């Protein structure tokens, strides 16, 4: 599968950078404030999913309902906590092997894209100074449908000018693996095989590919 790759499209949170833990912590802050809780297993359902949809999932788990303006305020609060975490990030938060793998495949002529649901992606890329590693950047500010909808990956492939069947997606979220497959792309899971059951292969991190990939 990887041998046919002409473009690699990377999720951001949990694949390139260790921000998944900050999303989790910020949602925990919100849950504490409103007197509910959620488990790490619940948290897997939030990965790759947009901010508003994540809130809907949490409220469903908690069995709570709020009016639209309260929910909008809750999403703002969560994002304030999250941005407070990420605004001080530096290059030490880049996950092992990410830069090396991106540089390696780019040197081999493989196109690289970012396909993230996050509206904070521009801030993160700027903080870490890694925008130049991507030929195209598609984030939550550019798409209308959240993963598992394939829009984010199809748009990246289109902007790269590479057919979806020749793109490989790198994802740490179940919703992202489903989005990749719905886009007609291969999906490399980053993380736990038990959680990312639908991925074509699962590796613990991009550092693994720096070692084993022919690219």
Binding interface with ligand G6P (CB under 6 A): 13, 23, 46-51, 54, 79, 116-120, 140, 173
Q: Could you confirm whether 172 is annotated as catalytic?
A: no
- Cα 138 from chain centre: 11
CB 48, min distance to Mg ion, A: 5
Looking at beta carbons only, is 110 or 176 nearer to ligand G6P? Answer: 176
Phi first, then psi: what are they for 182, rounded to 5°?
Answer: -65, -25
Question: Which residue, 140 or 150, has its beta carbon nearer to ligand G6P?
Answer: 140
Residue 54 interacts with which of Mg ion, ligand G6P, none, CB < 5 to 8 Å by class: ligand G6P
State the binding string over 165-184 for Mg ion (x if CB under 5 A, else -): -------xx-----------
Q: How many residues bind Mg ion (CB under 5 A)?
A: 5
Q: Classify residue 111 as exposed, middle or buried by CB count within 10 Å of its CB (0-12, 13-18, 19+).
A: buried
Beta bridge partners of 138: 115
Q: Would you say 135 or 139 has its CB closer to Mg ion?
A: 139
Dig out the tokens for 115 from the structure.
């396909």
- Name the catalytic one among 13, 139, 149, 172: 13
Residue of 121, 130, 162 whose CA lies nearest to 9: 162
Contact string (CB under 5 A) for Mg ion, positions 10-39, x = contact: -x-xx-------------------------
Nearer Cβ to ligand G6P (79/158): 79
191 binds Mg ion (CB under 5 A): no
Contacts of the segment 77-83: beta carbons below 8 A, 24+ positions apart? 77/29, 77/30, 77/33, 78/26, 78/27, 78/29, 78/30, 78/51, 79/26, 79/51, 79/120, 81/25, 81/26, 81/29, 81/30, 82/22, 82/23, 82/26, 82/120, 83/120, 83/123
> What is the distance between the alpha carbons of residues 175 and 45, in angstroms, rounded to a whole number?
8
Active site annotation includes 11: yes
Residue number, 162 or 173, with CB nearest to Mg ion: 173
In whole angstroms, the minimum distance from the beta carbon of 44 to Mg ion comes to 11
CB-CB contact of 206 with 45 (8 Å): no
Rule CB under 5 A: which residues touch Mg ion? 11, 13-14, 172-173
Catalytic residue numbers, as ranges: 11, 13
């Amino acid at each position: 599968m990887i041998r046919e790759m002409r473009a690699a499209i990377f999720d951001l949170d949990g694949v390139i950078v260790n921000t998944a833990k900050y999303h989790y912590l910020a949602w925990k802050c919100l849950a504490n404030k409103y007197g509910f809780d959620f488990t790490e297993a619940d948290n897997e359902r939030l990965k790759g999913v947009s901010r508003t949809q994540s809130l809907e999932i949490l409220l469903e788990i908690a069995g709570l309902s709020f009016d639209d303006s309260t929910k909008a305020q809750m999403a703002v609060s969560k994002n304030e906590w999250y941005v407070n975490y990420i605004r001080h990030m530096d290059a030490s938060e880049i996950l092992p092997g990410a830069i090396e793998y991106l540089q390696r495949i780019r040197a081999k002529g493989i196109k690289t894209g970012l396909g993230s649901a996050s509206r904070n992606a521009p801030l993160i890329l700027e903080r870490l100074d890694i925008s130049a590693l991507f030929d195209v950047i598609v984030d939550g500010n550019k798409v209308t449908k959240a993963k598992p909808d394939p829009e984010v990956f199809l748009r990246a492939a289109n902007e790269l000018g590479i057919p979806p069947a020749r793109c490989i997606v790198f994802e740490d979220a179940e919703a992202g693996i489903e989005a990749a497959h719905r886009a007609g792309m291969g999906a490399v899971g980053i993380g736990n095989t038990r959680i990312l059951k639908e991925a074509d292969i699962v590796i613990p991190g991009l550092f693994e590919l720096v070692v084993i990939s022919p690219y």
